[in-house]
Chain A
Amino acid sequence: MSFLSKTNQPRSWGRYPKVTPAEVQSVFWRSELPNIADFEQPVLPYAYGRSYGDSCLNEGGVSLDVSHLRRFISFDEDEGLLCCEAGVSLAEILELIVPRGWFIPVSPGTRFVYVGGAIANDVHGKNHHKAGTFGCHVTRFELLRSNGERLICSPHENTNLFQATIGGLGLTGVILWAEFRLKPIVNPFIDMERIQFSSLDEFLQISAETDQQYEYTMSWVDILIGGQNLCRGIFMCGNNDQSRSLASKKTGRKLPLTVPFDLPSFVLNSLTVKSFNELFYHSQLSKRVHKVVPYEPFFYPLDSIHEWNRLYGKRGFLQYQFVVPFQDGFGAMREIIGRIRRSGEGSFLTVLKTFGTIRSPGMLSFPRPGITLALDFAYGGQKTLQLLDELDKVVRQSGGAVYPAKDARMSAENFQAFFPRWQEFAQYVDPHFSSSFWRRVSHAQKLVMV
C-alpha cells in the first residue's frame, strides 16, 4: 500500500488532452452533499480517472471528486445483491466478495474503476456475449440532481433517468450509490484456454465455436503482420473453475510493479511494439494451451503494472475502440487495418472481441452486436488525429460506433451518427452538468442525416 496520497487533479488515463477544471470539489458524505446549483460552472463527477479521453474531464468547470464516497451499504450474501456508494472501486469489491463466493457480473479490463464510472460508461467485459454490459445487472441507484432532488432510479422507478444514466457519461446527475447483482463462483480460479490464430477468418471461426462453451472470451492481436489475413493473435477463453473449493490457496501476492516516471517518448516505437508482439505471439509453443489460473492475471493483466499509461511518455496516448456489425464487418475491418498499416502508427495493445446480442438498458450504451477492436496510439499530433478521423468514417459507413469512454476527439457529427438516440438522451442531461467530451459532441448540427 502506498503511503502517499495522490492529489486528485483530474486527468484521464490516456493523458490526452491535458485540461484542468476551474475547481475540484470533494464529496465526503451522502449526508453532506453540495448544492450543485450553487456552482457557477458546469459540474462533472470524477473519481479515479480511468476513462481514457475527455469524457471524465471538465475543462473550466467543476470536477466533483466522489472517490471518498467509498462505503459499502449492504450485502445480501444469499441473493448475491451488493449495495455500495458510487466511489467504491471494483478492486475493493472483489477483495470483499471473492472469498465469500461471489464475483462481479461484468468486469472491464481494469479493476481500478469505481462503481459510478462503471455505470456511467456502461462498461463491458470478456463476457459480453453471455452477460451484456454492467448496466444490465444494476437493480437501482440513487441520483443527485442539481435541483437538489435525490431520485431512486431502477427499471421500474424513474425509468427514463435510469436508462439515460446507464452509459450517460456522468451527465445526468451524480450517482450516490448503486445496487447490483453478483455472480456466484465456486473458487477464484479461471479454467482457460489460449488458442493461436493466424487470420481474422480464423478468429471469427474460433469465436463462433467457443462463444457457447465459454463465459469469457477476448483476443490479443497483432494487426501489423499477416498481410491479407489481416491479423494474427491469441484467443483467450475461460470459465470460472468448478473443480476446487473456495478455500483453495491463492498464489502468493505479488508486489505490484509500477512505472515510476514518464518514459521518454521514443521508448514505445514501432520497433519495440513489433518485438513485443512477436514475443507475445510466440510465448506459447503449441497451438492450444490449457491451464487454470487465478482470476487476477486473466481479467486484469495490466493492473499488475501500476500507471502503465506512463509507458507512452508525457505526450500521452489515444485509445480507439470501435464496433462494426457482423454483416460487412469484415470489409470494414480490412479497410481499417489497411489504413493503420499504411499510416505507420503501431498499436502496442490491441484487443479483439465479439459483442453479443444482449441489449443494455442504457440509451447511450456503446456495445452492439458485432466485432470490436481496441487500439492504442501514442499521441503524435495531427497525423494521429487525422488517422482516427479517417477510421471514424469507415466505422460510420459500416453502421458501427466508437466508444465515448475511450475517446478524446470524435466529431459531433460522427458521435450523433454513432448514437442515434443522443437527442432523446440529451433531454435527461442535467442542466448544470457537462464535460469536455459533451461540449464537443453535442454542439454543431442538431440534426444529422445519416
Chain B
Amino acid sequence: MRILIVGATSAIAHETAKRFAKDGAEFFLVARSPEKLEDTGNDLKVRGAKRIETFLLDVTDLDRHQEMIETAISTLDGLDMVLISHGTLGDQQKCQVSVSETLKEFTTNCTSVISLLTILAGYFEQQKRGCITVVSSVAGDRGRQSNYVYGAAKGALSVFLQGLRNRLSKSGVAVVTVKPGLIDTPMTASVKKGLLAASAQGVGEGIYRAMKNRKEVVYLPWFWRPIMLIVRSIPEPVFKRLSL
C-alpha cells in the first residue's frame, strides 16, 4: 500500500497513518515543519511502516503542488491512496474585518486542496484504481455566524468532492469525504470542548476504515450525521435567529 498524506503531522492524519503503518504501508508524508515531519515519520516507522519518505511544503504555495505530486509518484513508484488532511481553524472575528484573512483561510482550507485534487484526479483517473480521501468538516454543511468562513471553505470543498466522486466513479476510483465534528487536537486546543468532542484516535480509526472500505461520505463520530440532518432541515427564517 503506497499512501500520500498531505498535512501528515495533523493529529487525525497521524492517527490514521498509525493504523496503515501497522499493516506495513509505504508513506510519502507532506507537511510544513521539518521537526514535526521527522517525529511523525519516526513514529510510523517504529509502528511498522515499510518506508517513509518526506517532503516539506507549505500548501498555500500552489506552484509547488505539481512538483510534490510528481515526486511522490516517482519515489513510491506509484500511489494507491491519498489522504489530504491539512487545515487551519481561522479566527472568524478576524476574517470578518479582513478580506486578506478570509482569502487566506480559503486558500489553506479550500483552494489548495482543490489544486491538489485537480492534479491528482488526472493521475488516478488514468490509473483506473485507488482512493482519494479528504478531510472536510461538518462546518461545511450549513453556514453559521460563529465560523462561516471556515465553514464556507469546507462547504465548497465538500461540493467539489461530490462532483469529483461522480466523475471518478466511472474509473473505479473512490473519493471519500470525511466530515468530522469537533475533535480534541492541537488545532482545536483553544476551543472550548463540549460533551461531543471526539478523540483523534477514534476519528483516525474511522478514517482508516472509511478508506479501506471505500466509503462515500462519512461523519465522524457517526452521531454528527443525524445532528447535521436536523441542523440542515431548520428553515432559514428560524435558523437566522439562532445563535449558532
A interface residue numbers (CB < 8 A to B) = 1-7, 26, 28-31, 68, 71-75, 84, 96
The answer to whether B35 touches A31 (Cβ under 8 A) is: yes
- B108 CB within 8 Å of chain A: no
**Chain A residues, CB < 8 A from B195:** 4
Between-chain CB contacts (< 8 Å), 28 pairs: A1-B199, A1-B201, A2-B202, A3-B198, A3-B199, A4-B195, A4-B196, A4-B197, A5-B184, A5-B193, A5-B199, A5-B202, A7-B193, A26-B186, A26-B189, A28-B186, A28-B189, A29-B186, A31-B33, A31-B35, A31-B36, A71-B39, A72-B46, A73-B42, A74-B42, A74-B46, A96-B46, A96-B47
Note all chain A residues with C-beta closer than 8 A to B203: 3
B178-213 CB contacts (< 8 Å) to partner A: 183-184, 186, 189, 193, 195-203, 205
**Are A29 and B46 closer than 8 Å at their CB atoms?**
no
Contact of A68 among B40, B43, B46, B186 (CB under 8 A): B186
Instruction: Mark interface residues in B168-185 (1 if CB within 8 Å of A CB, else 0).
Output: 000000000000000110
Chain A residues whose C-beta falls within 8 Å of the C-beta of B11 in the assembled complex: 68
Q: Does B221 contact A (CB under 8 A)?
A: yes
CA A3 to CA B221, docked complex, whole Å:
7
**Is the CB–CB distance between A5 and B186 below 8 Å?**
no
**Docked-complex contact A30 and B35, CB < 8 angstroms:** yes
A274 to B33, CA, bound (A): 58
Distance in Å from the Cβ of A256 to the closest Cβ of chain B? 14
Cα A182 to Cα B201 with chains together (Å): 26
Contacting A at CB under 8 A, from B37-73, are 39-40, 42-43, 46-47
Write out the residue numbers on chain B whose beta carbons fall within 8 Å of the beta carbon of A73. 39, 42-43, 46
Say yes or no: B202 contacts A72, CB within 8 Å: no
Q: Are A2 and B35 CB-contacts (below 8 A) given A72-B43, A73-B42, A73-B46?
A: no
Chain B residues near A96 (CB-CB < 8 A): 46-47
Measured between alpha carbons, how far is A53 from B225 in the docked complex, in Å? 41
From B40, B42, B183, B189, give the contact of A5 (CB < 8 A).
Answer: B183
**Cα(A6)–Cα(B39), bound, Å:** 24
Contact B196 A71 (CB under 8 A): no
Complex CA distance for A330 and B202, rounded to whole angstroms: 50
A281 to B184, CA, bound (A): 44
Structural contact, A4 and B35, CB atoms closer than 8 A: no
CA distance A4 to B181 in the complex (A): 11
Q: How far is the CB of A26 from chain B (nearest CB, A)?
A: 6
Q: Which residues of A contact B198 (CB under 8 A)?
A: 3-5
Interchain CB contact (< 8 A) of A1 among B39, B183, B205? B205
Residues of B close to A31: CB separation below 8 A:
33, 35-36, 39
Per the bound structure, the CA–CA distance linking A317 and B35 in Å amounts to 43
CB proximity of B21 to chain A, nearest CB, Å: 10
CB of B43, distance to nearest CB on chain A (Å): 4
- Residues facing A in B65-100 (CB within 8 A) are none
**Seed contacts A31-B33, A73-B39; 14 additional CB < 8 Å A-B pairs:** A1-B199, A3-B198, A3-B202, A4-B221, A5-B183, A5-B198, A5-B200, A28-B189, A71-B40, A71-B43, A72-B46, A73-B46, A74-B42, A84-B46
Chain B residues numbered 222-238 whose CB sits less than 8 Å from any CB in chain A: none
Q: In the complex, what residues of A have CB within 8 A of residue B201's CB?
A: 1
Residues on B with beta carbons closer than 8 Å to the beta carbon of A28:
186, 189
**Distance of B10 from chain A, by nearest CB (Å):** 11
CA distance A91 to B87 in the complex (A): 31
Q: Which residue of B lies closest to A25 (CB)?
A: B189
Chain A residues with CB under 8 Å of B196's CB are 4
Are A72 and B36 closer than 8 Å at their CB atoms? no
B1-45 near A? 1/0 per residue, CB < 8 Å: 000000000010000000000000000000001011001101100
Q: Which residues of the partner chain B approach A74 to less than 8 Å between Cβ atoms?
A: 42, 46
